[in-house]
Structure 1
Amino acid sequence: MQAVEVKITEEQQNERIDKVLSVANEEWSRSQVQQWIKDGVVLVNGQTVKGNYKVKNGDDIVVNVPEPEPLDVVAEPMDLDIYYEDSDVLVVNKPRGMVVHPAPGHTGGTLVNGLLYHCKDLSGINGVMRPGIVHRIDKDTSGLLMVAKNDMAHESLVNQLVAKTVTRRYKAIVHGVISHDTGTIDAPLARDKVDRQSMAVDENGKHAVTHFRVLERFTNYTFVECQLETGRTHQIRVHMKYIGYPLAGDPKYGPKKTLDIEGQALHAGILGFVHPRTGEYMEFEAPLPPEFKVLLEYLRRSS
């Protein structure tokens, strides 16, 4: 069990403890924190509290993060597109349509199943279902992911994400013609109050910033590059919808009438980070997948 200490500042007081802790560590979901509170592993000034506890300035919070359970996810042979690998980190190009990690009731066919077969040694920080997984991309988003092969590498990569020093650039096709060449969307995100499976812009949500630039314009669509400053769930998809340019093909946030593709037109093409052991900055680029190129050619012919 790993004890993690969290200090409360004056700005945070009177906020719910589950919200404060999920903001303090991007790897902790609010639901996970709530479960830890119920399990009694979250202590405030040495005492257990309820999930609706409002923190006070100066509170000393200790989260006794449980040890990962024994792994029961099955390793499966897969033809993984690995861009880089050493004893600490691995960079893989995830295909469109593949889920990153197992979930209850869906334990097979994911990237994690393939990674376990490929290399055996993955960090255990994120527990049974997400060994080695430092960050995620959605099922229908293709592109590059960094994977930690030990806990030292995992902590280093997470710290880089928190410090916003990881380079993450995506290519996307959005509805509408964006007139300006560049822009920044700075809008906090939280779970949608009605649909808990979706995210929404919410003034009480987590800080989220997306930068974008136009690459090409078509009659009714725009090809853009988005750079993440933060990495919230569905961030690009929600942010682009928020400014009136939802992603083409997006079944959750886009219009019903869209391009005939399965899932959002989004590709995580560029990933850069500092190697946890050598301190060297490394950057990788994965080209657009064939189906994305076909879509662009169709839009060019149609414009």
Structure 2
Amino acid sequence: MGEQRSLPVPEGLEGERLDAALSRLFGFSRTRAADLIAAGDVLVDGAVPSKSDRLRAGQWLDVTIPPPPAPPAPRLEPIPGMSILYEDEDIIVINKPAGVAAHPTVGWTGPTVLGGLLGAGHRVSTSGAAERQGIVHRLDANTTGAMVVAKSELAYARLKRAFKERKVEKRYHAMVQGHMDPLRGTIDAPIDRHPSGDGRFAVVAGGKEAITHYDTIEAFRAASLLDVKIETGRTHQIRVHLSALGHPCVGDFMYGADPTLAAKLGVNRQWLHAITLAFEHPVTGEWMSFTAEYPDDLARSLKIISDENA
């Protein structure tokens, strides 16, 4: 049995299509709204509607929101190419390879950091939801680089707080199309789910605060290598911010990258790597900084574009 919501149609939604109105009222995608309507989980004035019906202010909506499906348990298997940069009783810092999600989610069938660590016999904190125990921050599945996982319960609590309070330094290297103007700057633009409901995120008025600082390390003919520091940790933040300026990460087809340039450089994912992660050790208080080497595909593409520039 899902959550029951009953409310009158507000005047601001007069004349809106039902699926669009549900999306605005409850914050889920148009696709999910259409699925609820098709499943008979939405009534308008007690009658079963069509998703394209136009609403009138004051009509009564009854909506049953089913509980989200439970994420699968992590697959316990060591992950080739996932190297350990540091480990002690409280934390483990890894260099995450591409194609690996942080933890299991609905719809993801590939390997996860959590499953890889547990499968290789590492102890991980049991704090947090079962499918994301020990995970205090995430990298996108196809973003590589430095990531910390909590092993003790104390480390989990303190690291979660440190990330929330922006006391963790997160630096990335990104290869973007074209040249940044200015060469260094700050992008301060709110981010939320893209209105299309297709899994993308976008700069959206009224979204969550997102701040990205960038500096050009080197400009090549068709692309630039950037050093990026983020203050906030929104989903897809760097990818969305750079794409919004017209400079998507090379190979980031979700956010408008040029397939020709990506193919020339041998890149089939976003060129984005978490190069440095620095934070206060959650138990000893010591300031620690970890640097993750580029994976082979990014190092190879950088050589190709550098040789071209020579």
Q: TM-score, normalised by structure 1?
A: 0.73
| 1:282 lines up with 2:297 in the alignment | no
**Counterparts in 2 of 1:77 and 1:294: CA distance versus 1, 3 Å:** closer
5+ residue gaps, structure 1, are 1-29, 32-68
Distance (Å, rounded) in 1 between the aligned partners of 2:194 and 2:183: 30
Provide the alpha-carbon RMSD of the alignment: 2.1
- The one-character-per-residue Cα deviations of 1:246-301 (angstroms, maximum 9, x if unpaired) are 11100210234331221100000100011111111100001222221211121123
**How much does 1:222 deviate?**
0.6
Judged with a 3 Å threshold, the aligned counterparts in structure 2 of structure 1 residues 136 and 180 are, in CA distance, closer, same or farther, namely same
1:196 deviates by 4.1
Partner of 1:46: none
**Partner residue of 2:78?**
77
Hey, what's the Cα distance between the residues in 2 that align with 1:105 and 1:97? 14
1:173 is paired with a residue whose SS is strand
State how 1:141-160 maps to structure 2 within 5 Å. 141-160=143-162
Distance 1:301 1:134, change over 3 A: same
The match for 2:20 is: none
1:200 aligns with 2:202: yes
Runs ≥4 residues deviating over 4 A: none
What SS does structure 2 have at the residue aligned with 1:207?
coil
**Structure 2 residues not aligned, in runs of 5+:** 1-26, 29-69
Q: Secondary structure at the match of 2:179?
A: coil
Moved more, 255-264 or 267-276: 255-264
The 1:74–1:180 alpha-carbon spacing in structure 2 relative to 1, beyond 3 Å, is closer
Output one character per residue of 1:144-180: Cα deviation in whole Å (capped at 9) or x when no partner: 1010112221111111111111011000100111243
| 1:162 paired residue number | 164
One-letter code of the match for 1:73?
A: P
- Cα distance in 2 for residues equivalent to 1:203 and 1:101: 30
> How many pairs are equivalent?
237
Give the aligned residue type for 2:152.
Answer: N
Give CA-to-partner distance per residue, 1:108-146, whole Å, 9 cap, x none. 522211111234532233312212111111111110101
Q: Look at both structures and tell me which one has the larger radius of gyration over its CA atoms.
A: 2
Give the fraction of aligned pairs with identical amino acids, expressed as a percent.
39
Does 2:265 align with 1:263? Answer: no
Tell me, in whole angstroms, the C-alpha distance in 2 between the residues paired with 1:282 and 1:244.
35
- Measured at CA, do residues 200 and 72 of structure 1 come closer, stay the same or move farther in structure 2, by a change above 3 Å? closer
Structure 2 counterparts to residues 173-184 of structure 1, below 5 A: 173-184=175-186
User: What TM-score, normalized by structure 2, do the two folds share?
Assistant: 0.71
